Every structure is written in C-alpha cells, then in structure tokens.
Structure 1
Amino acid sequence: MAIALPQPSPTGGVIEDPLTLKEAEALFAETGYPVPESTLRRWTKAAGLRGVRRGRRVEYSDSELLELHARHTFGD
C-alpha cells in the first residue's frame, strides 16, 4: 500500500491512513475474513461513519474500518 498523507475529515480531524471501501474489501479478503464492499457500505452507514470525498473516491479511516470489521466479524 502506498504511503498516504494525513487527510482532513469532515469534522476537522485527520484521517491517518485513508481507505476506500474497495481497498478495505481487498484488505479483508487477504485476512481470510472477506466482506463485500456492499456490506462495508451498509455497516459504515449504520455506524454513522462519514467518509471524505476526494474526487470520485470516498475514503474512510482504516482504523475505524478495522474496528467495524472486528465488531461485526468477531462480536463486541
């Protein structure tokens, strides 16, 4: 994965390592616990996570996506 510079979030914070849902889907597939992009979209919407739009890309915090994946895959 390429080095990413911190990006501002809609709330004024910083997204340290931004990922698109497609990139997150590929990452989770490598772990042996795959999740389709459509499911990630549904989870982020239900959790109230907001992505940052960069042109055509919508990026999310990798740590928030990892926490979301763990919560849904392994329970609370």
Structure 2
Amino acid sequence: MAIAALTPSVAVGPISDPVTIKESVALFAETGHPVSESTLRRWIKRAGLLGVRSAGETWYSDSEILELHRDRVFGE
C-alpha cells in the first residue's frame, strides 16, 4: 500500500483521518480508478474541503477524499 511512513497516526487539527493529496493519488492508482494530482486538487477546491497545514504538508480527511472520488468517478 502506498502510504507515507510519516503519516500522522493521530488527528491533525479537526481531521481524524489525515491524508495528503499525493498519498490519495497513489492509493487511487492501486484501485484501477486512478486520478491525477491536478484533478484531485481541482475536485477538492470545487468541493470546498478543509485542508490543515501541519508538518510542512496539507492534510485532508481521507473519508472526505474517498467520498469525493466515489462521487466523481461513479456519479452522485
């Protein structure tokens, strides 16, 4: 599984399941439904998802990213 070794195992601010965009892109590539980093960034911006800066990275809720990917790839 493609996930960074430094991914926090605890909450980052209000996010209990933190993930970076790069990690999400790598994980989606393994599913057979890949998405580019630029596309995922665009989807996140349009959806208005909350990102939290910590440890030099911007973290998003993995659950929200998964739901966003599901809705965009398979329709709402």
- Work out whether the TM-score is over 0.5: yes
Mapped to 2, the partners of 1:64 and 1:41 lie a distance apart of 13
- How far residue 55 of structure 1 moved from its aligned partner, in angstroms, is 3.3
The residue identity in structure 1 corresponding to 2:13 is: P
RMSD over aligned Cα atoms: 1.4
More strand by share: 1
TM-score by length of 1: 0.85
Structure 2 residues not aligned, in runs of 5+? none
Structure 1 residues not aligned, in runs of 5+? 10-14
Match of 2:9 in 1: 4
Match of 1:30 in 2: 30
Percent identity for Structure 1 against Structure 2? 58
TM-score by length of 2: 0.85
